[in-house]
Structure 1
Amino acid sequence: MTYRGLTWDHPRGYNALAAAEKNGGPVRWDVQPLEGFESAPIAELCARYDLVVLDHPHLGEAMAAECLQPLESLFSSAQLEAFAATAVGPSFTSYEMNGKLWALPLDAASQVMALRPDLIDTVPKNWDEVVALSESGNVALSLAGPHAFLSLLSIIAALEPTTDMSNGNWPNDSVLARAYSILQQLFTHASKAALGLNPIGLLEHMSTHDDIALIPLIYGYVNYARGGREKPLRFHDAPRVGAGPPGSIIGGTGIALSQCAQVSDALRDHLMWLMSPEAQSGFIPDHDGQPSLRSAWADADVNAASGGFYDNTRDTLEAATIRPRHNGYIAFQSDASAYLRMALDTDIDANTVAARMTEMFHANRLERSLA
């Protein structure tokens, strides 16, 4: 039996799955652009595909639409416990909701620091050092699409490492204002080169031009750290506040099964193989993928081939925070990012921004609860 799957159109999201298909795998993969992956309605995709590669913030929307199959019906509790124990950071738990698992964490990522080693003498460790460095004018921010809001959340995670937003909790206005103030200071001095680009476009620009030396928060893409590029990038842990842990928001991708998929043993075995230590440390990184198993992130060969990408950012992944996932969150994330870009561009004060963000969040939750 052949299944139809949808993933995202980038070597990190597609090449390993396409190679598995070519090697006789049971899934035929189509692609969508990054913007579709970040915002396309999950129910519409599940109506057309058996498998969907998704990001965990879509779970609330998927729960409301009842368009996914819980994976407890496919895998034993021992198998799921093994996945949970071996996944890096909260990659596994980000796909748990309502007491069930809804996707397998194929790929792990979070916002980390990207830099050009030929343009940076000393790697900054904390936000004070990043702000000071930004005065040079060659520090950039990732603000396009949902990433303005995600950058704010990552700074909040550094300021308050115990913050848990995964179940509807929301930081208080004083923390929001402090986080926005850091973003505002950076924006004042930051390079405006490539400001409207998504993370892929921004990293591509950074690796082909000399006007951006550092991006303090951007989702890590191992592809830009590998040898063979004229100007390879280096990735490091996200900035800290003082001696605290790096603050970041977990990303990555999971493979979910739509309600229309009729699962065969061949498909179950294929998914088990994709999550196996052998595939995660070999086949997936060999085909431009970014594995989710902790063992792959610690593997010496995998690190040697990636310029130390995994070693340099593993602490960030392990400490990463899960963002909100309620039904309606995707729309809020887009609206919040648009508001933040406007606030930064017009220099609105931090307390006003914090109050408005809180108002927007609670209005979004209330609207969906009444729908």
Structure 2
Amino acid sequence: MTYRGLTWDHPRGHDALAAAAGELVSWDVQPLEGFESHPIEDLCARYDLVVLDHPHLGEALAAGCLTPLDALFTTEELTAWERASIGPTMRSYALDGRQWAVPLDAATQVAATRTDLVGEAPATWDEVRALARRAPVALSLAGPHAFLTFTSLAVALGEEPAADPDELISTETGLAVLDLMAAVHSRAPAEAHGLNPIGLLELMADTDRLAHCPLVYGYVTYAPRVTFTDAPVAVPGGRPGSTLGGTGLAVSARCSPSPALLDHIRWLMSPAAQTDFLPRHRGQPSARAAWTNPTTVAADFYRRTTRTCEQAWVRPRHAGYIGFQSAASAAVREALAAATTHREALDRMRALHRASRNPQERRP
């Protein structure tokens, strides 16, 4: 039989999967925005394999729409894949004591620079602010990315968001983040507003109208034209603030996987696929060996961003988080547009976060 799979509509998300599938899996695609926010229960009702983002796990578990992978693979296999994966990629798909997806692809927010236009990428946020005064610099603010930029900056400033499940961020850090974002955004080229990460990187790669984005999800496919480096730090030697992305491969509850399908997933996680096949087919592997091997295709991309990926912050994964992430991003954009004060936006985000953790307060 042929299984139905859903991934996202970009060469990084589709090409390697399609090349490896043969007649076993027929892969459909959805836009990046669907990958980020479409209800996971609906996708699992229609597909056997789903490429998903780890914050969807809470809603998936609440709906009972995924098959736990520890029911399909041995503990030894799952442990080996975790040990081989870079940073928290494998752990980000574990919840409530079970493994719900494997990290097919690793990505986090890193800095993207046209070094031919502005020279070496800024390493600190003070340097980012200085560069924005003399060259076109933009933040990634479309869809959920305004909030993800906010969280990454908080990490760089020394505070992981939601460390206390009942409190999103301290007032001091939250206001400092919004002030810094406003200082950079006030000089950004208007055509960059509203672009998702793919759009920002295409603008940077195809034109000279955007020279730097300090936090954008890394895409190896743009590496020949754009230089990717570790995310900025607040102080030299500090932690590069970044929010983990990437993709996980999950098996829906509607699927009855055959031995051939399970072997196919095993192969996708194998050293041969991760270090050779995926990179050659424009994929972005999750295996640390691929990120640290100097012979990997586009090895400079991985070498320059490994430190950030290893230290990336993992988002909350409770049911209700996805809606909160979208609403919090809207609050950030309103603050940057001066439609609300920074304090009002911060208070709104914290209230939204508390409501997202309380099912009785969530809006339909």
Normalising TM by the smaller chain, what interval?
over 0.9
* Secondary structure, counterpart of 1:291 in structure 2: coil
Report what 2:70 is aligned to: 72
Quote the Cα distance in structure 1 between the aligned partners of 2:267 and 2:165: 31
- Report the AA paired with residue 189 of structure 1: R
Shift of 1:363: 2.0
Which residue identity lines up with residue 100 of structure 1 in the other structure? R
User: What is aligned with 2:252?
Assistant: 258
Q: Bigger shift: 99-108 or 152-161?
A: 152-161
**Offset, 1:169:** 5.8
Deviation at 1:46, TM superposition (A): 0.5
TM-score when normalising by structure 1: 0.94
Q: Does 1:13 align with 2:6?
A: no
Following superposition of structure 1 onto structure 2, how do residues 46-61 of structure 1 map, counting pairs within 5 Å? 46-61=44-59
User: Helix, strand or coil for the counterpart of 2:350?
Assistant: helix
Distance in 2, matches of 1:368 and 1:273, equals 43
- Superposed, 1:153-192 pairs within 5 Å as 153-160=151-158, 165=163, 170-192=168-190
Q: Which moved more, 1:342-351 or 1:316-325?
A: 342-351
Contact 2:293 2:299 in 1 (8 A): no
Residues 239-261 of structure 1: per-residue CA shift (max 9 Å, x gap): 11112110100000000011111
- The 5 Å alignment of 1:35-184 reads 35-160=33-158, 165=163, 170-184=168-182
CA deviations on 1:49-71 (whole Å, 9 max, x unpaired) are 11100000100110110100111
Counterpart secondary structure, 1:90: coil
Once the two structures are TM-superposed, the CA of residue 234 in structure 1 deviates from its matched residue by: 0.6
Contact kept, 8 Å, 1:166 with 1:323, in 2: the verdict is no
RMSD across aligned positions (CA):
1.7
Alignment CA distance shift 1:19-1:368 (3 Å)? farther
Work out whether residues 193 and 212 of structure 1, in 8 Å CA contact, stay in contact via their aligned partners in 2.
no
- Identical positions, percent: 51
How much has 1:170 moved relative to structure 2? 2.5
Residue of structure 2 equivalent to 1:269: 263
Do structure 1's residue 234 and structure 2's residue 227 form an aligned pair?
A: yes
1:288 maps to what in 2?
Answer: 282
Partner of 2:195: 197
Q: CA-to-partner distance for each residue in 1:191-240, whole Å, 9 max, x for gaps? A: 222211111111111111111110000000000003xxxxx001000011
Distance change >3 Å, CA 114–CA 251, structure 1 → 2: same
Q: Unaligned 5+ residue runs, structure 2?
A: none
1:182 CA drift (Å) = 1.1
Shift of 1:161: 5.5
Q: Indicate yes or no: 2:332 matched with 1:340.
A: yes
Q: C-alpha distance in 1, partners of 2:360/2:221?
A: 38
In 2: Cα distance, 1:179 partner to 1:20 partner: 43
1:246 matched to 2:278: no
Whole-angstrom CA distance in 2 between matches of 1:169 and 1:7 = 33
Deviation, 1:30, is: 0.9
Offset at 1:108?
0.3
On the 8 A contact 2:67/2:253 being kept in 1, the answer is yes
Give the Å deviation of 1:364: 2.3
The SS at the match of 1:119 is helix
2:300 to 304, 308, 312: 308
**Secondary structure of residue in 2 paired with 1:339:** helix
Tell me how many residue pairs correspond in the alignment: 362
Structure 1 alignment gaps of length 5 or more: 227-231
For the structure 1 residues 274 and 98, does the alpha-carbon distance in structure 2 shift closer, same or farther, using more than 3 Å as the test? Answer: same
Measured after TM superposition, the shift of residue 307 of structure 1 is 5.9
Change (3 A) 1:173 1:307: same
Q: Is the 8 A contact 2:151 2:161 kept in 1?
A: no
Aligned partners of 2:154 and 2:160 also within 8 Å? no
Structure 1 pair 336/289, CA: closer, same or farther in 2 (3 Å)? same
The letter of the residue matching 2:232 is P
Q: Which runs of 4+ in 1 moved over 4 A?
A: 161-169, 368-371
**Mapped contact 1:105–1:254 kept (Cα < 8 A):** yes
Q: Is the 8 A contact 1:110 1:316 kept in 2?
A: yes
For 1:93 and 1:19, the matched residues in 2 are separated by 27
Amino acid corresponding to residue 316 of structure 1 in structure 2:
T
Distance 1:166 1:286 in 2: 42
The yes-or-no answer on 1:297 pairing with 2:269 is: no
Which of 300, 313, 335 matches 1:321? Answer: 313
In the TM superposition, what is the alpha-carbon distance from 1:165 to its structure 2 partner? 4.9
Instruction: Please state how far the C-alpha of 1:136 moved relative to its aligned partner.
Output: 1.6
2:146/2:329 contact within 8 Å kept: yes
Q: Distance in 2 between matches of 1:235 and 1:20?
A: 28
